[in-house]
Each structure stands twice: as C-alpha cells, then as structure tokens.
A and B are shown apart, each in its own frame.
Chain A
Amino acid sequence: MQSYIKIITLITVYFSIFLPFIYLRSFTVNSKAFRIFTIYLFFIGIIQISSQIATKVLELESNIFISHYYFIGQFIFLSIFYYKILKHKFIWFVLILSLLCLTIQYIFTPNLYNVYNQVGMLFSHLIIIIYALLYLYKALSEKIEFTLLNIGVLIYFLSSSLIFSSGNLVFNVEIPLETTQLLINLNVVLYFVFQILIFVEWWKNYSVAKSNS
C-alpha cells in the first residue's frame, strides 16, 4: 500500500510541474480566467519544487513554513480566478479583508510560522468552496467554462480542508506516526484526483488550439 502511495506522491509532484506547461500551450488564445489559472498552476509547481528542495536537498527538519506561502498564494490566485468567472465585486472585498486578517494574525502570533495555520487554512478553504458552489449554481442556468475544474476544486477543497486543519496533529507525540501518515496519504490521493480533473479539463476543452476565438 505504502509503495502505491509513494508512486502517487511522485506522480503528483511531476504532474504539478507538467500541468502548468500544458496549460501554457493554450495561454494566449484563452480567457483571462484561464490565464490566471495557468499562473496558479505555476505557483503550485514552484511550491512543490521548493518543498522538495527543502526536504531532499537542503535536508531541513520541517518544510511547514512553505505551507503558509502555499495556502495564502492559492487563496489569492483562486479568488482572482473566481472573480474572473463569477464577476462578483464582493470577491475583491473578501480577498482584501481576509488578507488583512491574516496579516494581523501573523503580526500578533509570530510563532505561527513554525506550525500549520489551521484557522487561516480552514477559512481560506471555506471561502474558495463557497465560490465553487456559487459557480455550480451559475451552471444551472447557463453554459459555463471550467466545469470539471470547478468540480475538482469543490471535491478537493471540501475534503482536504479538514486534513489541513488537523495538520498540527503531526506535532502531537502521543499519536503514532502511521495515523498522521494516513492523513497525509489521503491528501495525496485527493490531490491526485484534483490534478486528473485539471488535466481532463484541459484535454477536453483546450488541447485543440482554438483558431477562431
């Protein structure tokens, strides 16, 4: 079982680097939302590479500090992405307000840098889930782009929000490593599903270059 998980982990790492480039192929001919998503994928790729470097090359004890950049960056890019497709002005307002709250949180608890920011992660995930739901609702009445992508976001963010918020269990010495590993493995599998959906979205709708759009 563990060996399968290792393979999937490896695949997700390579996929994270590979996906932004296939999206880049159709970058210029598509909408602004598509371009924002491509930039988001690049960002995820960079996060993956840096966390690999942190553990494998620099052999740092923990790469948890990267998680802060990961979730904040992800929140910003996906907020802009959903702003572009939902076209609700309040998304900007929510984004700025959330970033303000996060800044205050980090200023008052500098120690947070060494652990998972559970509250921040949970809230940023919840907001993205709400946007995904709003977009699904929009899909009821009109034909929309990024259907599969949106479903991927909904499934992955909804189920992984709990995994991330319980991330600090790793520091609890009383819980055996296998159980926390189980959570991490679950996340890997879910993330793999998300990546597959991102890939299928590209494969179905963007792999053939649109000449007349």
Chain B
Amino acid sequence: MVEELFSSEIQFVNIILIAIGLLLLMSFAIVLFFYFSRKKIIKTQLEKAELEIEYQKELLQSTIVTQEEERKRIAQDLHDAISSKLNVVSLNANFLTEKEITPSEANKIGESIHKVTSTVLENSRRIAHDLLPPTLEKFGLQAAVEELCEEVEETKKFTLEYNIQYQDNFIASVNELHLFRILQELFSNTIKHSKATKISVSLITEENLLSLQYTDNGKGFDISEARNARGLGMSGIENRAILMNATCNIESSLGNGIKVKITSHTQT
C-alpha cells in the first residue's frame, strides 16, 4: 500500500495536479492583474482629463474677466472723451436754432462747437489707436514697439532704456500682436502699480531665437499671490506666451521690481 502510494507514477500524477492548480491560480492572477491595471489606468486618465478641464475653465474665466475689464475701460473712455463732449456740442447746436440769436453769439457758439469737435475727433483717434495701434499693422512690430516706448517715455515718469532689434516677420503676425500686447500689459502694470523710476526693455532676434526682456525697479509683488488673482495682467501675459509657443519667465518679489523674460524658438 505504502509502496503504491509512493510509486513514481502516482507522484507524477500528483505533480501534474499541482501544476494544473498552479496554472489555474496563475490565470486568475493574470486576469486580476489586468483588471486592476485597467482600473488604475482609467482612473489616472480621468484625473488627467479633469485637470485639463479645470485648467481650461480657469483660462476661460481669466479671458472673460480680462474682456470685461477691457470693455469697462473702453466704455469709460467713450463716456469721458466723446459722449460728454458731444453733449456740449449738442447743447451749443441747440442754441443756434433759437431765433433771437445775434450773429456774434452764433459765431462764438460755432467756434466753441468747432473746438469741441476737434477734441472729440482727436480723442476718438486716440481711443482707436489704443485699441489697435495702426503702426503695428502698417509698419510692423519694430516700429510699433518703438512708438510704444516713445509714448511711455513722453509721460516723463520714468527713465526708459530700450533696445529693439526685431527682424521683420520673424514670428507670425498673430504672434507679433501677442508680443505687443504683452509689452503693453507690462508697461501698463508698471505705470499703474509699480511706482518704478527705471524701465529697461530689450527685444532681440538672432538666428532662430527671439527674446524679450523687461525689467523695472518698482515695488514688485508676490508671484504666487498674483497668479491666484485671475484676470489680472500676469496670467494674461502667461496665457499669451503659451499661445505663441514661447517660454515665459517672470521673476519678482516685494521691493525688488519685476523681471520678465520671454523666449521663443522658431522652427527651422
């Protein structure tokens, strides 16, 4: 009996049975492994998608806020510089229709109307220029940036150093506009908030690299705080840099001004 149990044939069959059991176990393990891997992969994919949606939402949010602010500014401009002036014109024109008016009075009123309409004309030209400078379209980025710098210099609030060496059509015109807007935004931030006395701007293209450097010696700000304040300049600048496939590096801290570097490689 004992001999029979331990005979090699029986042992052989036992080994086969054990092996079958192991194979069964292995197949279950494989199935479970794939099942859990799949679950994990789907989970990470989902998280990634959610993160992306979240980012898109923030982007949208900041775009809308910027748009609203821009509208508010335009409305303010229109109201202050045009509507109120036109009111004066309308009032004066009304005087002219009255019957008992002397020619000298009429002349005086006409003169005033002429004066006010010229200012209105000048203002509307300025507003249009602020919205989209015609120089950019007509003479390119180099001229537009130089003009912008001259305008800033005219305020006499800062000493401005600038070095613009932009090769025409180095980047696509839509990206030129982004770059111009970034610079505009940087200037307007400096003017509005920084209390700086010195600004330096350099825009240089060489081989296939474009670099824009902007520094001021203003009061600076805390970058992480500025990032959280959506719709403000910084995120707008970063978003524009992303859109033009450029890298944007903003350095600032309280009391140390701001240093912005935007670099873009063109495909060769």
Contact = CB atoms under 8 A, between A and B. Distances in A.
Contacts, number: 58
B34 A136 contact: yes
* Tier of interface size on chain B: 20 to 34
B9 A159 contact: no
B30 A183 contact: no
Interface stretch (B16-24, B104-112, B220-228): B16-24
A122 to B, nearest CB: 12
A155 B32 CA distance: 12
Given A137-B34, A140-B41, A155 B13 contact: no
B27 A140 contact: no
Contacts of A182: 13, 17
A9 B30 CA distance: 28
Nearest to A183: B16
Contact of A139 (B9, B23, B38): B38
B58 to A, nearest CB: 29
Contacts of A163: 16, 20
A155 B28 CA distance: 7
B31 A151 contact: yes
Contact of B13 (A137, A159, A179): A179
A158 B31 contact: no
Contact of A162 (B20, B31, B37): B20
Interface string B18-54: 0110011011101100100110010000000000000
A75 B38 CA distance: 28
Given A137-B34, A154-B31, A182-B17, A162 B10 contact: no
A166 B24 CA distance: 16
Interface string A151-186: 100110011011100100100101100011011001
Nearest to A190: B24
Contacts of B19: 162
A158 B9 contact: no
Contacts of A161: 23
A91 interface: no
A136 B31 CA distance: 8
Contacts of A158: 23-24, 26-27, 30
A186 B14 CA distance: 13
B11 to A, nearest CB: 11
A73 B31 CA distance: 26
B20 A186 contact: yes
A86 B88 CA distance: 80
Given A133-B30, A166-B16, 20 more contacts: A140-B34, A140-B37, A155-B27, A155-B28, A158-B23, A158-B24, A158-B26, A158-B27, A158-B30, A159-B20, A159-B23, A162-B19, A163-B16, A169-B13, A174-B7, A179-B10, A179-B13, A183-B13, A186-B17, A190-B24
Interface of B: 7, 9-10, 12-13, 16-17, 19-20, 23-24, 26-28, 30-31, 34, 37-38, 41
29 contacts: A139-B34, A140-B34, A140-B38, A140-B41, A141-B41, A151-B31, A155-B27, A155-B28, A155-B31, A158-B23, A158-B24, A158-B26, A158-B30, A159-B20, A159-B23, A159-B27, A161-B23, A162-B16, A163-B16, A169-B13, A175-B9, A175-B10, A175-B12, A175-B13, A179-B13, A180-B13, A182-B17, A186-B17, A186-B20
